[in-house]
Structure 1
Amino acid sequence: MKQPHKKRIQVAVSILSEATKKLDELDRSKLVDYLRRTYEKTGLSPIRGKALPPDIYDKELTTLYVIGKYGLGLLDDYPAMFSKIFYIEERLEEALNLLLQGKVDEARERIKSVSPSGVIDGNMIARLLRIPLTKLVLGFMSEDDFTRILHVVFKAFPEEEKTVRSYVRFFIGFKLAEAIYRGEIRSREYKEALKRALAIRVGFPKTTPGDDYVKAIAEAVFNIPEEELSKVLRIPAKQEGPGGVGEQEPGEDIAPD
């Protein structure tokens, strides 16, 4: 069976290995730059939806954090690396644990402490959810635990309902793209059935991505060619517009930036 995240894990291990040798020289911004250059060299894309925000590689440090902490056990041997470089991810994971204990006010303070604006906005909630999503994708968290976190965050931050639903769409879109990559989806009918099953399993039955969103993830993250995607996704033909050839306007799906 295809292993969709094998290369991502191998690259992360390589980057972390180099980081442990150069801790005195590194800070967060330098590691972000090294991550970006390494991804570009190896043809990897950050875990993302449709959008490619300017801070996407800073957010992708979550992958290194998760693999370093849960895969390699580096926190015990290199605690300074985590406090110096992965301090955002550490604070956000602390916030998640507090939320799971019902300590919402304390969790809010943790999030604010690493928010550039000092407030909790959609961007910070998206960063918060990126940690359990990455743990799930890389095999360090069960779907049940991820689902529980989604609902805890949904309840704790009702003002960010749109952001949480956006992340639900992203999760479902990502899992569909992953299943296409593995060869598990062979028809549009099965794709639709799996999409609805995933939405029901996570408790957001009406929050599902459109095919254009799934296509964007499949192409960006899994490098699946359009010819293969067209067998299971409804891909509209490119249309001629007044300014030349254009594509269909994106739907209502929102990328978890």
Structure 2
Amino acid sequence: MSTASSGAPITPTEADHPVGLPVQVDTPPSASTTFRDYVVWHQNGSFDRDAYADAQAYWQEKLPTLPLAPALPMRSAGNHAIDSASVHHLAHTFSETFWSSFVSQCKQHSLLPSAVLMTNFIDALRLWSEEPHFTVNTTLFNREYVEDDIDKVIGDFTGGILFPTPDEAAFDDKFFSKRCRRVQKQLLSDISYSQYSSISVIRDLQHYHPGSLMPIVFTCVLPSGQSAEIPGPTIAADSLEFEVISRKTQTSQV
């Protein structure tokens, strides 16, 4: 799993006030809905059915030719079976100077930082994968604005899409910026059909490739700030100067 982050987004209503300092109100204003309400809303099918049907058709059309997960080499245990596995967290933090320069370069080329990082991730996987054309599982923060104050609700709004890498000929372009642009174009197109989740697509994929999983995951939670797609303020956890004691990220497929 690869995670690009400048701190996980958290609810700003409470987090933007320093811990330990007096507040102006006794109780933070509550939301008009709960996360349970949100889940029930989905389970009852109270969503845009036309958009869901379009997304389902979009992904099912891709299924017959959808590549499998990267076939990465496994560490040999000789004559002994590998009966256990563990997950280790490796982290690298870019300096503020480097990151500012990186974001500036992305803007000059009309590229999203997440698309550039994803292209790097795919490049690295292609060095090790047996097949250059494969599918990466991509997570999304998929909070649908069913209520005006849904920002106040804390819950797991994570969704996902499958991202089949561009065909080999297109991805072998020697210009990195062109490869990034190709990834970005496809990523934005796929995201527009995220109503039909990666879990549903993997389930449908079993008809073509029984037992297939998509355990290689790219997660990007870079703050987006205020935008038309994500209304309201977004605060990165590391901007609040909290100390990270421990963390763990692991997919259920690993």
Larger C-alpha radius of gyration, 1 or 2? 2
| Shorter-chain TM-score range | under 0.3
Point out the structure with the larger strand share: 2
TM-score for both structures, normalised by structure 1: 0.25
Point out the structure with the larger helix share: 1
Q: Which has the higher contact order (CA 8 A, sep 6+)?
A: 2
